[in-house]
Amino acid sequence: MANIQSHKGVIGILTGGGDVPGLNPAIRAVTIRALREGYKVIGIRRGWGGLIDIVREKDYDNSSNFSILSEELVNRAGRTGGTFLHTSRTNPGKVKKESVPTHLRDKYTEERNDLTKEVLANLDWLGIDYLIPIGGDDTLSYGVRLYEEGAKVIAIPKTMDNDVPGTDYCIGFSTCVTRTIQMTNSLRTSAGSHERFLVLEVFGRYAGYTAMLPTMAGAANRCVIPEHKFNIEHLTELLSYDRRKNPSRYSVVLVSEGAMFEGGEMVFEDQATDAYGHKKLGGIGDAVSEKLKDLSPKFNDGKTVDIINQKLGYLVRGGDPDAIDSIVPMAYGNLALDLLLRRVHGRLVVLKNGRYDDMPIDCVTGSKKLVSVNDHYNTERLRPHYKSFHMKPLFIMTGE
């Protein structure tokens, strides 16, 4: 076993999947509370990647795989964006042959290898009593697997798509919405100057929350989302109508990266898949832009409307967290410690109807969290419904 001991126990923490603002505040909250309660905290680097790369030898340099966290270290990072522990999309249950760590290649020789046995052995070698993964449904689905294997896991939800089941809010969503609104408003000046359609591709593989909320807030005239396949000619007609009504002669549509044309499928950059079997999305904004331009003369007296086409991508996940993504991670981290101190595990900390709570961790894998088209999306107008806000939570739409 590694020479890592504390009076009360050891807590491991990691961040997996895409980076979002709010991860460092969550790490800070867990660490400071844990240290003051008498625990030691180990930061696992590169998400689940750090846990499969560890070499269980006393004198081996594992500093690239984990580090001991201090109050000074997390205080310095806690006000910043990203994750100082780094992240990856590693799935220890399905590691490609070429990605198996060098010291394990004689032992694991299949095209896809389940390294869960090594992960559990590494947790034991590190002396970790409780593990707190912070991630989206992919990262946390493996947390469910570890819990089922006997590890004491308490999960914290994060993803700018806001699509982790069981919670109304995931770390990173508010900053994503804030950035989307800001950048859309900045690009309005160019769209208006040139009298164009403004097409912005935003995150959202399966769920359209990151397109819906900015549109609801007035950032865009229309939005298309993964939950409803859209007719491009109808979208062109609506945007042309919006453009004519606008004194500056432009209109705006937000396009979720997972949105699909009527009769079509998702648009991918290539056919390669990540560790969780997902192909890399990209290009629906380009495809929408091209078709809008081609169809525009039909609704504009025979004249073509040019396009400003921008993929927001990493611009909305970079930089410092906003107020909500500074406060919620603090609360989530402390909720995780509350559970731990009561010796409760196998839980996901959540926000439900404006109140902090926790749910069984397997809710992550038990359902999908999607926009309810019937309740929130007007399929004729390709925009959110604006009705029945009484007693709704802060961000209006939940997965229930």
Computed over its alpha carbons, how large is the radius of gyration of the chain? 23
Rounded to whole angstroms, how far apart are CA atoms 179 and 370? Answer: 22
The Cα 46–Cα 212 span in angstroms is: 31
Q: Which residue has the tokens 């044309």?
A: 261
What local confidence, expressed as pLDDT, does residue 349 receive? 98
Cβ neighbours for 36, distance < 8 A, ≥ 6 positions apart: none
Q: Are 8 and 39 in contact (CB under 8 A)?
A: yes
The Cα-based distances of 110 to 53, 275, 279, 323 in angstroms read 17, 15, 22, 46
CA atoms of 228 and 255, how far apart (whole Å): 12
How many other C-beta atoms lie within 10 A of the C-beta of residue 103? 14
On whether the CB atoms of residues 22 and 175 are closer than 8 A, the answer is yes
218 phi and psi, to 5 degrees?
100, 10
Active-site residue among 53, 161, 325, 358?
161
Residues in the chain with pLDDT values less than 70: 1-7, 400
Predicted structure pTM score = 0.94
The pLDDT of residue 15: 98
Q: Which domains does the chain have, with CATH numbers?
A: 10-171+321-366 (3.40.50.450), 175-313+373-384 (3.40.50.460)
| pLDDT attached to residue 400 | 66
- pLDDT tens column, 341-385: 999 999 999 999 899 999 999 999 999 999 999 999 999 999 999
Using alpha carbons, select from 253, 249, 262 the residue that is nearest to residue 301.
249
**Is residue 139 a contact partner of residue 133, using CB atoms and an 8 Å limit?**
yes
Residues 6+ apart with CB under 8 A from 291: 232, 236
In the residue annotation, 320 being an active-site residue is answered as no
